[in-house]
Structure 1
């Protein structure tokens, strides 16, 4: 199968500083991956490189392919790659209903502007996604009146709707610190949703520094520090007190219950 992502010898600069150094990363369809690292390690720069907001330094050995292609129209890429961030996509979405907020994902828009045409296929896809994310109770609720956890659920649905819309494409989600600003109940619901999406084959790439966000289905762990992925292995290999202590530079204590980890 064509890889979701193939990065080889990638260096990325922001201003005068090189942030990513000789980075190599291969992600296959259907994988469930957690990328873990402290603040400032380069996680956000890597995300922006994947979404084509940043471009690597041009070097002979460098390679960046997304779904087997080097060049993308950004609107087209958004229809294959769903991105979930803690920031809202734009203030107009606050006035949308939950259903309309999901529909905006097809257009990478912050609201359903009058010039946008919602097709029957988009409506059908949205109905399917609403069932997937268990959000039938939110379809008529105003987005700006939802709790942070409910908003995050709708934003995941928004990303799912677009990324799996093209015929024959399994949805691929990039989740960037998705549990930020969520209370304990909302964190639990988010993790349950990630597990259910993984179980139906959605490709998930979680970028986080919260060990508790790594659901049991995420069997591949990447550790990042200083702009480099320095470890790529299984949960058993890398989710240990010693490896996390080395990663974060502080003594880490770890517990595991039913495949879920908690660190302090």
Structure 2
């Protein structure tokens, strides 16, 4: 067995008997799963099924109910410093865009990946190494011409690329993306999809949520289906992204097909 294959079996996150309640309502129930290096994981499920909550367990913005039978480990640690997490995992959540106040420049948005605050004064504290990282990301994500623009004035596609650049400032090898393709036009969707696949080629592992089958990353090699707070299926995309499985998942008759690298689902 090659070394690469062995690495694929190493877990970076382990969930054991995880239950999550928000305002006394059960959102996730009895989650038992390992997330491993070498996997690019798609999470599919109806609205309200617990997909975003599952991802928020990874950035510690939501905590499960503690019990002697439950545990959630990141990088083999139950108690891990949040800044250590952020250096190893990049996060993009859909509500991030709403948290940015008017007047925050795109450049300041990106460097906030280091500080956690949208403050232009932090730019004066950047090390030369950090500045190089920032400008490399600006070039890589095609943001040069809008770097001084107000973040709130940008298009959805530009905002999404900026937030991804922000998520990559520590050069993490794991990216957690909650609906990264939402509200994007065809061109922006294609560009973002292509660039994320390039990150996968550079050994970045992706775990993401999308509602659009056409946005499924071609390099996805694992799918989790979540319904009513439970993981009901876990397997290979070609086995789970089928007409019957997704019709059952979403409660609607779908004709699911794959053409070259892209999936489509058409209501029947």
Is the TM value for this pair above 0.5? yes
Deviation (angstroms), 1:227: 0.7
Aligned partner of 1:146 in structure 2 is 154
| Contact residue 129 and residue 157 of structure 1 kept, 8 A | yes
| Contact residue 79 and residue 106 of structure 1 kept, 8 A | no
Does 1:103 pair with 2:105?
no
Distance across 2 between alignment mates of 1:205 and 1:111: 29
Does 1:225 pair with 2:224?
no
Does 1:183 pair with 2:185?
yes
Summarize deviations over 1:86-139 as a string: whole Å, max 9, x none.
2316334x4344333211111122233459721112112223323443433443
| Contact residue 173 and residue 205 of structure 2 kept, 8 A | yes
Summarize deviations over 1:130-188 as a string: whole Å, max 9, x none.
344343344344423321101100100100113x2xxxxx4311110112222222112
Deviation (angstroms), 1:230: 1.2
Aligned partner of 2:78 in structure 1 is 70
Aligned partner of 1:247 in structure 2 is 249
Equivalent residue in structure 1 for 2:99, among 86, 90, 112? 90
Distance across 1 between alignment mates of 2:114 and 2:243: 42
Distance across 2 between alignment mates of 1:113 and 1:19: 40
What secondary structure, in the 3-state scheme, does the structure 1 residue paired with 2:11 have?
coil
| Contact residue 224 and residue 231 of structure 1 kept, 8 A | yes
What secondary structure, in the 3-state scheme, does the structure 2 residue paired with 1:95 have?
coil
Aligned residues: 257
In structure 1, list runs of 5 or more residues that go unmatched. 165-169
Deviation (angstroms), 1:252: 0.9
Does 1:59 pair with 2:61?
no
Deviation (angstroms), 1:19: 1.5
What secondary structure, in the 3-state scheme, does the structure 1 residue paired with 2:88 have?
coil
Question: What is the TM-score with the length of structure 1 in the denominator?
Answer: 0.89
Question: What is the TM-score with the length of structure 2 in the denominator?
Answer: 0.88
Relative distance call for 1:116 and 1:38 in structure 2 (3 A) is farther
Over aligned residues, Cα RMSD in angstroms? 2.0
Equivalent residue in structure 1 for 2:201, among 199, 203, 206? 199
In structure 2, list runs of 5 or more residues that go unmatched. 1-6
Distance across 2 between alignment mates of 1:28 and 1:155: 24
Does 1:38 pair with 2:40?
no
Does 1:49 pair with 2:57?
yes
Deviation (angstroms), 1:30: 3.6
Relative distance call for 1:33 and 1:209 in structure 2 (3 A) is same
Aligned partner of 1:135 in structure 2 is 143
